[in-house]
Amino acid sequence: MSESFLLGNYERYALQVESGEGCYVFDPHGNRYLDMISGIGVNAFGYCHPRITAVLLEQARRCVHTSNLVSHGNQEKLAEKLCRVSGLERAFFCNSGTEAMEAALKAVRARSAPGKSRLVALRGSFHGRTMGALALTGQPELRRNFVFPGAEVTYVEPDDLSALAAAIGEDTAAVVLEPVLGEGGIIPLEDEFLQAARRLTRAVNAYLISDEVQCGLGRTGKYFAYQWAGIDPDIVAVAKPLAAGLPLGATLFTEDAAQWLPPHSHGTTFGGGPLACRVAVEFLDMVGEVLPAITELSELFLARLEALRHKHPVIRQIRSKGLMYGIQLSVPGRPIVEAALGRGLFINCTQETVLRLLPPYIVEEPEMDEAVRILDDALTTAQPPEA
Ligand SMILES: Cc1ncc(COP(=O)(O)O)c(C=O)c1O
């Protein structure tokens, strides 16, 4: 298929997806692939889950779009659910993770007084591709060429408590972090680090923003990953699985943080439409039902991956939190991803040497066995020589 009319910004894998069911996708020839990356953490209930399909069709027959000139009821229901499970007080809806971060940053910017506008972020973090979110992203190669000069961000190594303490001062407007760095290679932050971030931001009247776009909404075994550390951020961003594949992001605010985005200060045409919000209400109900099982599922999968580590010396480390797994290799990961794909397993590679698995919450033991068997095979045959 010709890609000559597409912008050349993606380097795609050799798979064309025609349809999906449960944990599997199918190409146009009917070949089946076990999907353990879930559309990068979006398809948390796999493909074509009957409950999702039913509400999608039902709402599509009523109305798909209204704009934010009027209310349609589903936003209010979803906002209430998100506030109840997060402990925050106000929700704004948009279309993506990066937009959820933009709303967070706009609130911080509106609040920042002269001499109090510095942001603190983590090295290796990822917050999105729009200009504001990109200015924060702790990966210089992604920022290069794009960030306007003058963005005031101090980067701190994940879990470096003394660097965090040194970076936060009276000039800090906000600290922004992913409790589990996703694109950065699945790096779960220590509870102690998250608690210190909360304590230190409070001491200087700065906001704490939790970017839960990848690690939130059940993926780690709690609704939000910050809940493992028992902290309460001022602003939380979510997106990816929220509407089970329809584009939907949300920024959650405390009442105090919400006051910085009053009428006319922010908005979107599509964000929080009736279709996406209806599906998201169903999604959150479904998360509530599976949440108690996620930690056990996570351990079952981890035990199998650990067995692989003992067999393959190129696996340096396996990092995980809930159903997020990063297999740190000593060699480039892409050839292994491609070898796995050729054998019917779809995962991806981040930071060049980390195999990333974000299985759907509906994964069961036979699928875990299949994934590990194919990975084992791919690691055995596709292993480039040790760097
Ligand atoms: C932690 C985090 N924040 C923000 C984003 C940006 O989300 P989107 O691609 O929906 O704009 C991502 C995307 O991977 C992410 O992982």
Q: Which tens digits make up the pLDDT trace of 294-328?
A: 999 999 999 999 999 999 999 999 999 999 999 99
Within-domain flag for 331: yes
Residues 245 and 232 in one domain: yes
Residues 325 and 248 in one domain: no
Final residue in a domain of this structure, among 251, 286, 321? 286
Final residue in a domain of this structure, among 233, 259, 286? 286
- What is the SS3 assignment for 47? strand
Burial degree of 121 (CB within 10 A; 0-12, 13-18, 19+) = buried
Within-domain flag for 5: no
Position 383 confidence tier, pLDDT thresholds 50, 70, 90 = low
Tell me: the pLDDT tens digits for 122-163?
999 999 998 888 888 889 888 877 676 667 999 999 999 999
Within-domain flag for 147: yes
Residues 223 and 324 in one domain: no
Within-domain flag for 11: no
Q: How far apart are CA 265 and CA 284, in angstroms?
A: 28
Within-domain flag for 278: yes
Angle at 200 between CA 198 and CA 206, to 5 degrees: 80
Atom 3 of ligand 1: nearest residue by CA position: 127
Within-domain flag for 6: no
Here the tokens at position 158 are 């994940």
Position 387 confidence tier, pLDDT thresholds 50, 70, 90 = very low
Rounded distance from Cα 182 to ligand 1 centre (Å): 9
Q: How far apart are CA 19 and CA 26, in angstroms?
A: 5
Within-domain flag for 2: no
Rounded distance from Cα 377 to ligand 1 centre (Å): 31
* β-pair type (118-122, 172-177): parallel
Residues with CB under 6 A from ligand 1: 96-98, 101, 126-128, 178, 182-183, 211, 213-214, 239
- Please state, as a whole number, how many other Cβ atoms lie within 10 Å of the Cβ of residue 290: 15
Give the residue among 245, 224, 297, 215 at the shortest CA–CA distance from 56. 245
Residue 175: what are its φ and ψ, rounded to 5°? -110, 130
Question: Residue 22's beta-bridge partner residues?
Answer: 47
Tell me: the pLDDT tens digits for 176-228?
999 999 999 999 999 999 999 999 999 999 999 999 999 999 999 999 999 99
Q: How far apart are CA 65 and CA 72, in angstroms?
A: 9
Atom 9 of ligand 1: nearest residue by CA position: 97
- Please state, as a whole number, how many other Cβ atoms lie within 10 Å of the Cβ of residue 34: 21
The DSSP annotation for 93-113 comes to EESSHHHHHHHHHHHHHHHPP
Atom 16 of ligand 1: nearest residue by CA position: 214
Residues 126 and 214 in one domain: yes
> Which ligand 1 atom is the nearest neighbour of the CA of 99?
11
Least confident piece of the model among 2-16, 169-183, 225-239:
2-16
Tell me: the pLDDT tens digits for 330-368?
999 999 999 999 999 999 999 999 999 999 999 999 999
Question: Residue 24's beta-bridge partner residues?
Answer: 21, 34
Question: Residue 94's beta-bridge partner residues?
Answer: 249
Pocket test for ligand 1, best of 10, 126, 130, 134 (most atoms within 8 A of CB): 126
Q: What is the pLDDT of residue 1?
A: 67
Q: Please say whether the beta carbons of 62 and 274 come within 8 A.
A: yes
Residues 69 and 155 in one domain: yes
Rounded distance from Cα 139 to ligand 1 centre (Å): 13
Q: Please say whether the beta carbons of 277 and 71 come within 8 A.
A: no
The DSSP annotation for 231-265 comes to ---SEEEE-TTTTBTB--EEEEE-HHHHTTS-TTS
Residues 163 and 306 in one domain: no
Q: Is the pLDDT of residue 281 over 90?
A: yes
- Please state, as a whole number, how many other Cβ atoms lie within 10 Å of the Cβ of residue 113: 8
Residues 174 and 237 in one domain: yes
Here the tokens at position 352 are 């060049």
Residues 42 and 55 in one domain: no
Within-domain flag for 8: no
The DSSP annotation for 251-308 comes to EEE-HHHHTTS-TTSS--SSTT-HHHHHHHHHHHHHHHHHHHHHHHHHHHHHHHHHHH
> Which ligand 1 atom is the nearest neighbour of the CA of 181?
1
Rounded distance from Cα 218 to ligand 1 centre (Å): 16
Q: Is the pLDDT of residue 386 over 60?
A: no
> Which ligand 1 atom is the nearest neighbour of the CA of 240?
10
- Please state, as a whole number, how many other Cβ atoms lie within 10 Å of the Cβ of residue 5: 5
| Structural domain containing residue 185 | 51-286
Residues 189 and 309 in one domain: no
List, edge to edge, every strand of the sheet that includes 32-35.
19-21, 24-26, 32-35, 345-346
Residues 253 and 345 in one domain: no
**This prediction's pTM:** 0.96
Say how far residue 62 (Cα) sits from the centre of its chain.
30
Rounded distance from Cα 99 to ligand 1 centre (Å): 9
Final residue in a domain of this structure, among 286, 321, 347? 286
Q: What is the pLDDT of residue 384?
A: 53
Report the CATH number at residue 377. Answer: 3.90.1150.10
Number of domains in the chain: 2
* β-pair type (180-181, 187-188): antiparallel
Residues 262 and 349 in one domain: no
Residues 127 and 274 in one domain: yes
